[in-house]
Amino acid sequence: MADRILGIETSCDETAAAVVDHATHVRSSVVASQIDQHARYGGVVPEIASRAHVEMLTPVIAQALVEAGVADDEIDAVAATTGPGLVGSLLVGVSAAKALALVWDVPFVAVNHLEGHLYAAFLEEPDLQLPLVVLLVSGGHTMLVHMEDHGRYHLLGSTIDDAAGEAFDKVARFLGLGYPGGPVIDRLAAQGNPSAVPLPRAMLDRTGDDRHDFSFSGLKTAVVNHVRRHPGVAAADVAAGFQEAVVDVLVTKARRAATEVGAKGLCLGGGVAANSALRDRVVKACDEDGIRAFVPSRAMCTDNAAMIAAAGWWRLRADGPSPLDTGATPNLGLPVAG
């Protein structure tokens, strides 16, 4: 039984490695962010990302092993993100993981990045009870997932246009606040009045098959139009109004979904789950609805390799090792059940 997993994550702009025991005990989790190298371009530049992964991955893995206090021959399996993500970036982690698995003669496990985000909460709450509804909100994804059992997911809804994090990044760029936009808007919003700028809440009244879907591109346009018509408006009020509109829609839809499927809890995942207002509102909503709120630490919400090792442990148990000819799949979807 493979119990100690080395996880590797290189799908976007974080080079990460972690050692996790039994999918629950994080021995080490090292994350080298490339944000500084991309910030001046206002977003992630794929070519820069791949090169930085090549430079950083070996020292990051070495650091993860040292911090975990384990030798090479004490690793039972190597798990790496194979998608979704940037193909050049993914290939760096996948190739390294396969090479290490071969050299160490241990299983290689291909992990879906989205499944990794779903497992982040289990690292901090090993007794998490299923079924759960997970609100997965990142720079590339906005999803409501019904996690019925381990490895058994139903995609209830997703965004029909921009992802929630993408909306934060685009609005921040428009306001001249820099990249990534989420953390800056989060800070600025704390000083603003969320009701000063009236902004739309898209798709809240849907009752059909698209009732759990999201749309954020109209909100971004509404922000742009408002600022152009009112050039003197305070940036803090715009940030607060925008954040309130995003959080309102996310929380309203997530709690409705949790009620509909009879979930025992509502769980947050992905980079946008680091947002202070979203975290507060989810805790309050779950309290009112009598279900548990699982709000992972900020480090566990953003991209890291501990969540990849945890998801890898479950995958290995369910499916066995992945073939060594497994490649990178940039548009890999969440493996959904029936």
Kindly tell me which residue out of 168, 223, 303, 305 binds Zn ion, with binding defined by CB under 5 A: 303
Kindly report the number of other CB atoms within 10 A of residue 179's CB atom: 17
**Considering the complex, what minimum distance in angstroms separates the CB of residue 223 from Zn ion?**
24
Laid out side by side, the sheet with 4-9 consists of 25-33, 14-21, 4-9, 77-83, 108-112
Angle, helix 181-189 to helix 235-261, in steps of 10 degrees: 100
116 contacts which partner out of ligand KG4, Zn ion, none, CB within 5 to 8 A by kind? Answer: none
Binding site for ligand KG4 (CB under 6 A): 12, 138-140, 165, 168-169, 180-183, 186, 270-272, 274-275, 302-303
Where in 120-139 is the site for Zn ion (CB under 5 A)? 138
Q: How many whole angstroms separate alpha carbon 303 and alpha carbon 299?
A: 8
Please report how close the Cβ of residue 42 comes to ligand KG4 at its closest, in angstroms: 12
In terms of CB distance, is 117 or 255 closer to Zn ion? 117
Taking the least distance from each CB to ligand KG4, the nearer of 207 and 331 is: 331
Which residues, other chains included, contact 126 with Cβ-Cβ below 8 Å and sequence gap of 6+?
Answer: 24
Is residue 157 within 8 A of residue 214, CB to CB? The reply is: yes
CB neighbour list of residue 181: distance below 8 Å, 6 or more residues apart: 168, 169, 170, 171, 172, 173
Tracing tokens 């929630």 back to the chain, one arrives at: 164
Burial of 262 (C-beta count, 10 Å sphere; 0-12/13-18/19+): exposed
Rank residues 141 and 255 by Cβ distance to Zn ion and give the closer one. 141
Interaction partner, residue 302 (ligand KG4, Zn ion, none; CB < 5-8 Å by kind): ligand KG4
Q: Which does 265 bind (CB under 5 to 8 A by kind): ligand KG4, Zn ion, none?
A: none
Segment lying near Zn ion (by CB under 5 A), choices 129-137, 159-167, 195-203, 303-311: 303-311
Strand ranges of the sheet holding 152-158, from the earlier edge strand across to the other edge: 152-158, 142-149, 132-137, 265-269, 292-294
The least CB distance from residue 304 to Zn ion, in Å, is: 9
Nearer Cβ to Zn ion (9/244): 9
11 vs 322, beta carbon nearer Zn ion: 11
Closest separation between CB of residue 216 and Zn ion, Å?
Answer: 17
Least CB distance to ligand KG4 at residue 181 (A): 5
Closest to ligand KG4 by CB, 115 vs 186, is 186
Query: What separation in angstroms does the CA of 93 have from each of 66, 80, 127, 142, 198?
Result: 19, 6, 30, 24, 44
Taking the complex as a whole, how short is the minimal distance between the CB of residue 85 and Zn ion, in angstroms? 8
Q: From the CB of 109, what's the least distance to Zn ion, in Å?
A: 18
Nearer to ligand KG4, 280 or 319 (CB): 280
- Minimum Å distance from CB 34 to ligand KG4? 12
The one of ligand KG4, Zn ion, none whose footprint includes residue 181, by CB under 5 to 8 A per kind, is ligand KG4
165 binds, among Zn ion, ligand KG4, none (CB under 5 to 8 A by kind): ligand KG4
CB nearer to Zn ion: give 138 or 243.
Answer: 138
Number of Cβ atoms within 10 Å of the Cβ of 114: 27
Closest CA to 140 of 157, 158, 120: 158
**Distance (Å, rounded) from C-alpha 97 to C-alpha 327?**
11
112 lines the binding site for Zn ion (CB under 5 A): no
Chain contacts with Zn ion (rule: CB under 5 A): 138, 303
